[in-house]
């Protein structure tokens, strides 16, 4: 096992780039077969990734089972994160932030992961039917019972973070954050800095689009991105033009577009940890190579200049998914 530069997420010291495991089992197509997924996870650990992120939602438990059978013989080598509240309800994706549901989902996750303790456990979304204080209280009790080590939130606002933090210190906020989704900069990124809460950036390369995904215009039926407005006409053509500009900068700098995305995020704040997902060992190694290079300030400024808040065309979520997030919007943001 090699070592990578590290950052802090709550009480944990983790590799400065972690691995989002969702697309090994959920949401994006095509998915790898079991052997390929296991090989990628083991490789990530071998090359120094020490932060693995899953959730009860992903594959309706299949992703947790994958990590459970693949990584737990090396449990002491990494920080394990999973999530509750957003998951399978009557065979469909739904929200249940009640303390009873959280307790049950946690027990199911522990079983699937083959562990008796999850290091970082997030409320995956805010359930508007349940006060955040009640949901956090359920996790406080789980922590007191030794079943989790720290509490996180996902896709929530600065105001919700402060309410939750008043109940118990929040170790991490996980939210979509990339060049084309900069909502975190409105308020919650600053709130995290003030409260000592780590910030975990998911989809840091724009759900693959900013990395130059050649299939962006022909996503197969069943790929969640096909329902997202930014991947649909007329928005897709405008967004691909943005990628052309990013790729031109990357070519001049002698790197890839994905590396520029990750370097920009790492340069924003010291408490930001990106967790790109991939099904490719080559792409994983490419992402991690970002950490081996010094990135000049003028290059980072040029990257940012390509992507003001208003640069992407289209809402980031379709209407139903947008209703399940509590994140701030920027002034003038298009919503589904």
Rounded-to-integer distance, Cα 258 and Cα 43, Å = 19
What's the per-residue H, E or C state across 70-106? Answer: HHHHHHHHCEEEEEECEEEECCEEEECCCHHHHHHHH
> 3-state DSSP call for residue 321?
helix
Range of the domain at 52: 6-322
Rounded-to-integer distance, Cα 61 and Cα 25, Å = 9
Q: Could you tell me which residues are beta bridge partners of residue 178?
A: 181
Which of 216, 223, 195, 231 is closest to 312 using CA atoms?
A: 231
Residue 18 lies in a domain: yes
Asked if 134 and 98 count as a contact pair (C-beta separation under 8 A), the reply is yes
**pTM for the predicted model, two decimal places:** 0.97
Residue 205 lies in a domain: yes
Identified catalytic residue from 28, 58, 122, 177: 58
pLDDT in tens, 170-218: 999 999 999 999 999 999 999 999 999 999 999 999 999 999 887 888 8
pLDDT at site 215: 82
Residue 168 lies in a domain: yes
Counting the structural domains of the chain, the total is: 1
Residue 330 lies in a domain: no
In this structure, what token pair is assigned to residue 224?
Answer: 């969640």
Residue 1 lies in a domain: no
pLDDT at site 186: 97
Residue 60 lies in a domain: yes
Cβ density class 28-65: b for 16+ within 10 Å, e for less: beebbeeeebbebbeebbebbbbbbbbbbbbbebbbbb
Q: Could you tell me which residues are beta bridge partners of residue 89?
A: 92
Rounded-to-integer distance, Cα 184 and Cα 176, Å = 8
Q: Is 58 a catalytic residue?
A: yes
Q: What is the bridge-based pairing of β-strands 12-15 and 6-9?
A: antiparallel
Residue 119 lies in a domain: yes
The domain that holds 163 is classified in CATH as: 3.20.20.100
Asked if 318 and 229 count as a contact pair (C-beta separation under 8 A), the reply is yes
pLDDT at site 217: 82
> 3-state DSSP call for residue 237?
helix
Residue 328 lies in a domain: no
pLDDT at site 259: 98
- Which residues of the chain are under the pLDDT cut of 70? 1
Q: Measured between alpha carbons, how far apart are the two ends of the chain, in Å?
A: 45
Rounded-to-integer distance, Cα 89 and Cα 312, Å = 33
């Amino acid at each position: 096992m090699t070592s990578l530069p590290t950052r802090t997420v709550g009480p944990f010291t983790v590799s400065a780039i972690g691995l989002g495991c969702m697309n090994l089992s959920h949401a994006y197509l095509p998915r790898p077969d079991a052997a390929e997924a296991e090989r990628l996870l083991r490789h990530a650990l071998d090359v120094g990734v020490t932060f693995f992120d899953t959730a009860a939602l992903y594959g309706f438990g299949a992703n947790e089972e994958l990590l459970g059978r693949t990584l737990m013989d090396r449990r002491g080598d990494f920080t394990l994160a999973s999530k509750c509240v957003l998951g399978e309800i009557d065979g469909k994706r739904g929200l249940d932030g009640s303390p009873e549901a959280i307790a049950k989902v946690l027990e199911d996750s522990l079983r699937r992961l083959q562990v008796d303790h999850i290091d970082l456990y997030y409320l995956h979304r805010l359930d508007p039917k349940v006060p955040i204080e009640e949901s956090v209280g359920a996790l406080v009790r789980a922590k007191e019972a030794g079943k989790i080590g720290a509490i996180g939130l996902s896709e929530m606002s600065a105001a919700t973070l402060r309410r939750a933090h008043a109940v118990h210190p929040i170790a991490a906020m996980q939210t979509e954050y990339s060049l084309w989704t900069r909502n975190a900069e409105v308020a919650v990124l600053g709130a995290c800095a003030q409260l000592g809460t780590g910030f975990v950036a998911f989809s840091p390369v724009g759900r693959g689009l900013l990395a130059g995904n050649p299939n962006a215009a022909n996503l197969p039926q069943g790929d969640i991105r096909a329902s997202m407005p930014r991947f649909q006409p007329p928005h897709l053509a405008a967004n691909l033009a943005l990628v052309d500009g990013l790729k031109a900068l990357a070519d001049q700098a002698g790197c890839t577009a994905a590396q520029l995305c990750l370097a920009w995020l790492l340069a924003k704040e010291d408490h930001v940890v990106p967790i790109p997902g991939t099904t490719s060992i080559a792409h994983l190694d490419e992402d991690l190579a970002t950490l081996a290079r010094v990135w000049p300030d003028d290059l980072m400024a040029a990257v940012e200049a390509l992507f003001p808040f208003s640069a992407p065309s289209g809402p980031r979520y379709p209407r139903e998914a947008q209703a399940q997030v509590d994140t701030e919007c920027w002034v003038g943001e298009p919503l589904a």
